[in-house]
Amino acid sequence: MSLRQSEVIAPCPSDPASQRAVAAARRVVETLVRHTFSSGSELASAAATLEQLADRLELSSPTAQAVVDGLERRERYSRHDPVSGAHNPFAPPVEVVGRSDGSVAGSVRFGLPHQGPPGLVHGGVLAMVLDHVLALANSWAGTIGMTGGLELRYLRPTPLFADLQVTARQERLEGRKILTSGEITLDGEPCVTASGLFVAFPAPTPAPTGR
């Protein structure tokens, strides 16, 4: 594994219009959740606006299947993934950089759409993020694979609206097995830890992907 300077693995979209649209969609999702909690009066009007927009976008977009079919010729980890994907409004997003010591690090702040118990991040959302950041650590280390197993330990409640750190590192390779670990911390204290077993794709990977 080559040692490089810190490098953004999941960058912001280079297209300003896409960046604006994705950021605004995240705001709409967040405010809609707040609004439905209070049975807000704007919901019928918001529904009409969103339906019209979805109709318009559907007319001018490729089908989902066409997008998937086109992906075979592209990088495996794209900017559209559900965790760090700058082009995907579903992604919180987690912004991740590769570090020169071989590990990756990111930061994330969760909001109301990611809530489990009151005021706390949903445990499943934390699992989703860790799975992905472990995969990014594999990508950064140069050998990627499919998740075979994932073990999570929840050490303490993880609050919403807090600046959380996520780190991960590929520990070792055993044949096609890739062993990778990571954690989510708040102020340096671990909230959740993860150990992953990944199965390397048959062909060697030439370089970290996702860029």
Query: Using CB under 8 A, which residues numbered 47 to 76 contact a second copy?
Result: 47, 49-51, 53-54, 56-58, 60-65, 67-68, 70-72, 74, 76
**Distance set, CA 31 to CA 36, 43, 51, 67 (Å):** 9, 11, 17, 29
- C-alpha of 135 from chain center: 10
Contact window for a second copy (CB under 8 A) among 129-137, 164-172, 173-181, 182-190: 129-137
Nearer to a second copy, 76 or 177 (CB): 76
CB of 27 to a second copy, least distance (A): 4
Q: Tell me which residues in 140-199 interact with a second copy (CB under 8 A).
A: 146-154, 157, 160-161
CB of 7 to a second copy, least distance (A): 22
Amino acid at 211: R
CB of 103 to a second copy, least distance (A): 19
β-partners of residue 198 are: 147, 178
Q: Tell me which residues in 80-99 interact with a second copy (CB under 8 A).
A: 80-83, 87-90
Distance separating alpha carbons of residues 53 and 21, to the nearest angstrom: 12
> Which residues make Cβ contacts (< 8 Å) with residue 117, sequence separation at least 6?
157
Amino acid at 158: T
CB of 173 to a second copy, least distance (A): 18
Nearer to a second copy, 97 or 129 (CB): 129
Give the DSSP per-residue string, 47-101: HHHHHHHHHHHHHHS--HHHHHHHGGGS-SS-TT-TTT-TT-TT--PPEEEE-TT
Contact window for a second copy (CB under 8 A) among 100-108, 124-132, 174-182, 183-191: 124-132
Q: Is 196 helix (H, G, I), strand (E, B) or coil?
A: strand
Amino acid at 101: D
Residue 203 near a second copy by CB under 8 A:
no
CB of 45 to a second copy, least distance (A): 8
CB of 193 to a second copy, least distance (A): 10
Nearer to a second copy, 103 or 195 (CB): 195
